[in-house]
Amino acid sequence: MIHEYFKRDFDDFIIILQLNPETYSGVELNISKDKSISKRELQFDEDIYEDLSEDKFERSSPIEFNLYLKGVAV
Residue 73: pLDDT band by 50, 70, 90 thresholds? Answer: confident
- Whether residue 23 is contained in a domain is answered as yes
Based on the structure, what is the number of domains in the chain?
A: 1
pTM of the prediction?
0.91
What's the gap between Cα 55 and its chain centre? 13
Q: What is the pLDDT of residues 6-37, one digit of tens each?
A: 999 999 999 999 999 999 999 999 999 888 99
- Whether residue 74 is contained in a domain is answered as no
- Whether residue 42 is contained in a domain is answered as yes
- Whether residue 50 is contained in a domain is answered as yes
- Whether residue 64 is contained in a domain is answered as yes
Residue 72: pLDDT band by 50, 70, 90 thresholds? Answer: confident
Is-contact 16 4, C-beta < 8 A?
no
* Structural domain boundaries, residue 30: 4-69
Instruction: Decide the pairing of beta strands 4-9 and 37-43.
Output: unpaired
Distance CA 62, CA 12 (A): 22
- Whether residue 32 is contained in a domain is answered as yes
